[in-house]
Amino acid sequence: MATRISLDSLPTPALLLDLDVVERNLRTMAGRASSLGVALRPHIKTHKCIELAQRQRALSVSGITVSTLDEARVFAGRGFDDITWAFPVIFSRLGEVRELAARVTLRVVADSFAAVDALAGLASPERPLRVWLKVDCGYHRAGVDPAAPEAIRLAEKIAGAPSLVFDGLLSHSGHAYHGGSRQEIAAIAEEERAVMAGFAERLRGLGVAVPAVSVGSTPAMSVVESLAGVTEARPGNYVFYDFTQVALGSCAVRDCGVTVLASVVSSRAGQSIVDAGALALSKDAGPAGRETLGEIFADYDAGTLEPDARLVSLSQEHGIVSAALAVGSRVRILPNHSCLAVACFDEYQVVRGGEVVDRWKIWRGRSL
């Protein structure tokens, strides 16, 4: 974008990306992964943005992680050739898996014999598919129980299938988001590491080669002290952080790189209305113990939040603020969950200081 414009003239609601903050976050996590001795394979579902993924790649990431095949197609078409689809394989989309795997190194995830059979039937020894075994490290959302005999048999089945390549073990410590303190989150991160490294050693002892062990969540990566036995990490939210991450202790307010700019359109005693509702912020309830649907900055540059004004209710386009603000004034909102807020918009307004210096597309489409 050749012409820079002031934030004061930007129509609202608008999604602002603070490029100085985001670039600092990218460098910090790349350095943290390096110091922990693991490769970084960031999850791009948070930002869905080519320009940001290119900046991550410039920091020597090992590849990228996606949540959808639409994301995989977009990034494969723009030079990203090592992609993990970190979602249990969807049988109705096996044709898309085969097409993508012919173009790039596509790594898929399975945690059932039915899924492994479907993948084995899709591929051939001449054109094998790469498969991670999804392991439940304590989150209990998906993945095999590493203590169950079936987990060993499933790993052996993947490793022994002529049409498959066993990439190794993959987990997600999503329960780190429920930690009540940094100490609890660190304990969850260590549990994930121990479970995954221990299961990998058990398999190796049984003659099953485990090439890699992949873990990931931003809260865990923010506090973990050791990743011995792990080869790569897949955090995603760290690129922006959000109010939930602030409450968890993963970052400071000033580390949050995405905000929503909104205008006050109505005001009365004790409350006001802004033009950012659920379709700008989502309805993520945010951190436990805090009744908020979005925090409002008192001073963005100082990283301070209003103590008595926050979003307390959202309808589709309306946001209700718990304080009477001047009609026509503008507020900068810190979302509870940046990943969901980003998915509400078509583009970022890329900001340095008080100016919009570019606009970047958010690739949030879903196709049949």
| Average confidence (pLDDT) over 318-334 | 98
Query: What gap in Å lies between CA 244 and CA 38, rounded to an integer?
Result: 25
Query: What gap in Å lies between CA 313 and CA 273, rounded to an integer?
Result: 10
Q: What tens digit of pLDDT does each residue of 105-154 get? A: 999 999 999 999 999 999 999 999 999 999 998 888 889 999 999 999 99
User: What's the pLDDT score for residue 131?
Assistant: 98
Q: Any idea which residue has 């503008």 for tokens?
A: 330
**Phi, psi at 205, each rounded to 5°:** -65, -20
Residue of 272, 298, 293, 300 lying closest to 337 (CA atoms)? 293
* CB-CB neighbours of 347 under 10 Å: 14
Helix 113-122 and helix 94-101: axis angle, to 10°? Answer: 50
User: What's the pLDDT score for residue 286?
Assistant: 82
Q: Determine if the peptide bond prior to 211 is cis (ω within 30°).
A: no
User: What's the pLDDT score for residue 306?
Assistant: 97
Eight-state DSSP code of residue 241: -
- Identify residue 225 by its one-letter amino acid code: E
**Phi, psi at 362, each rounded to 5°:** -105, 120
Average pLDDT over all residues of the chain? 95
Please report, for residues 87, 151, 214, the alpha-carbon distance to residue 62 in angstroms, rounded to integers and kept in the order given.
19, 27, 12
Query: What gap in Å lies between CA 326 and CA 264, rounded to an integer?
Result: 7
Query: What gap in Å lies between CA 33 and CA 221, rounded to an integer?
Result: 8
Beta carbons within 8 Å of 56's beta carbon, 6+ residues apart: 26, 30, 40, 42, 44, 64, 239
User: What's the pLDDT score for residue 1?
Assistant: 57
Q: What tens digit of pLDDT does each residue of 43-58 get? A: 999 999 999 999 999 9
Is residue 329 helix, strand or coil? coil
* Tokens read off for 34: 């390096």
The answer to whether the beta carbons of residues 312 and 274 sit under 8 Å apart is no
pTM, two decimal places? 0.95
User: What's the pLDDT score for residue 368?
Assistant: 61
Query: Residue 62's pLDDT band (boundaries 50, 70, 90)?
Result: confident
Query: What gap in Å lies between CA 345 and CA 211, rounded to an integer?
Result: 39
Please report, for residues 25, 26, 185, 242, 282, the alpha-carbon distance to residue 236 in angstroms, rounded to integers and kept in the order given.
11, 10, 17, 12, 18
Please report, for residues 304, 319, 325, 331, 341, the alpha-carbon distance to residue 264 in angstroms, rounded to integers and kept in the order given.
20, 9, 7, 7, 19
Query: What gap in Å lies between CA 108 and CA 114, rounded to an integer?
Result: 14
* Tokens read off for 274: 């802004």
* Tokens read off for 48: 């869905």
| Average confidence (pLDDT) over 279-297 | 91
Q: Any idea which residue has 């992949």 for tokens?
A: 214
User: What's the pLDDT score for residue 193?
Assistant: 95
Query: What gap in Å lies between CA 312 and CA 174, rounded to an integer?
Result: 26
What is the β-pairing status of strands 295-299 and 304-314? antiparallel
The answer to whether the beta carbons of residues 42 and 56 sit under 8 Å apart is yes
User: What's the pLDDT score for residue 180?
Assistant: 82
- Number of residues written out for the chain: 368
Residue of 331, 309, 333, 330 lying closest to 321 (CA atoms)? 309
pLDDT(2) > 60: no
Beta carbons within 8 Å of 209's beta carbon, 6+ residues apart: 159, 166
Eight-state DSSP code of residue 144: B
Q: What tens digit of pLDDT does each residue of 256-276 get? A: 999 999 999 999 999 999 999
pLDDT(79) > 60: yes
pLDDT(24) > 80: yes
Query: What gap in Å lies between CA 215 and CA 136, rounded to an integer?
Result: 11
pLDDT(3) > 80: no
Q: What tens digit of pLDDT does each residue of 168-220 get? A: 999 998 888 888 888 999 999 999 999 999 999 999 999 999 999 999 899 99
